Amino acid sequence: MKAGVLALQGDYAAHAKALEVAGAEAFEVRCLSDLSGLDALVLPGGESTVMGLLLQRFGMMEPLRERILSGLPVFGTCAGLILLAKEIEGKDQARLGLLDLRVRRNAYGRQIDSFRTLLSTCVPGAEEIEGVFIRAPCVTAAGRGVEVLASHGGFPVLVRQGWIFAATFHPELVPDAPIHRWFLSSIEAGR
């Protein structure tokens, strides 16, 4: 399986390694032509405002939105989740707006407030994993079609809506890549 990682800004290298550990051929996506031939795409953590602006500047926002709407499986983490969200509290920034969530950026505080915690999930093979939260967003509302697969403090932290998967934490920093394995196996099972 050929899985792309948006490599405009953010923690794309760690996702590429996690995808390879999970059995995929990882490919860095830096321009519009890089979107062709992908079986899946990861939108990494980083700075969502910068990523959105770069997607627009490089003419990738609308084609990427269309590819996802046409069934390209996508997994957004942290800033990637923000890019996918329909609504961002107090912000009107460039985003894909495809995932029926309302999110609050940097909800857990500043960089110094980053933390790790044990999470219970509904993901086969990853029923209990470490969640790494780095200036993480918080999902403050999820639409009816959004499946919540893990929560922390009463807020969803791992969700799925059709072929759109998203996490507020950084699963690429967890050994053995269990969430990436699940993402890829979900795609394989759905083919």
Q: Which CATH class is domain 2-190?
A: alpha beta
pLDDT, residue 91, reads 85
Q: Is the pLDDT of residue 14 over 80?
A: yes
Mean pLDDT of the chain: 94
Q: Which one of the listed residues 78, 138, 152, 180 is annotated catalytic?
A: 78
pLDDT, residue 191, reads 61
Closest CA to 191 of 20, 23, 39: 39
Packed helices 178-190 and 12-21: angle between N→C axes, nearest 10 degrees = 60
Question: For residues 155 and 142, what is the distance between their CA atoms, to the nearest angstrom?
Answer: 10
pLDDT, residue 115, reads 77
Average pLDDT (150-169) is 97
Q: Which one of the listed residues 15, 138, 172, 180 is annotated catalytic?
A: 172
Backbone angles phi, psi at 42, to 5 degrees: -110, 135
Say whether 172 is catalytic.
yes
Domain ranges of the chain: 2-190
104 or 110: which leads in pLDDT: 104
Average pLDDT (152-164) is 96
pLDDT, residue 2, reads 97
Closest CA to 164 of 94, 80, 95, 106: 80
Cα 52 to the center of its chain, rounded Å: 14
108 or 152: which leads in pLDDT: 152
The pTM assigned to this predicted structure is 0.94
Cα 174 to the center of its chain, rounded Å: 15
Q: How many CB atoms lie within 10 A of CB 44?
A: 26
Say whether 180 is catalytic.
no
Q: Which one of the listed residues 15, 138, 152, 170 is annotated catalytic?
A: 170
**The tokens 């990738």 sit on which residue?**
60
Say whether 138 is catalytic.
no
pLDDT, residue 139, reads 96
